[in-house]
A = this chain, B = another copy of it.
Amino acid sequence: MIEFKNNKGIFQQIADNLCERILSGEFKPGDKVPSVRELAALLGVNHNTIMRTFIELQHANIVENRRGIGYYVTTTAPEMIQQQRREEFFKSELPAFIQQVKLLNISHQDLQPLFDQLNENQNENK
């Protein structure tokens, strides 16, 4: 069960939850996700809200629709989710972090653990 918070749209929160479950492997590429009515009843929200969720996920190439049957996880869903999160990261988290670094006058040395992680990432990609 999801507990809905105030600061984000409910449809967005449901989408995030589905993405989480896809990344965790609960729904694999090719799997059918629960139907609109099913989810609406389970979460106690209007079915239009679920539709909005699926439309967003479809735009992001995370689910695809088979007319009259239901929504299915795309084969590229995990990568698409990852990519979307990267976009979110560059659009909002990174600027916020930079803002903090600026305000607190953080120095190069202070971020050593961050650089260690970056180097690890780079080695993985080799």
Contact = CB atoms under 8 A, between A and B. Distances in A.
A105 B124 contact: yes
A122 interface: yes
Range of interface residues on chain A? Answer: 35 or more
Q: How many copies does the complex hold?
A: 4
Interface in A62-106: 82, 85-86, 89-90, 93-95, 97-98, 100-106
Contacts of A117: 98, 101-102
B89 A114 contact: no
Contact of A121 (B86, B102, B122): B102
A108 B100 CA distance: 19
A89 B104 CA distance: 9
A107 interface: yes
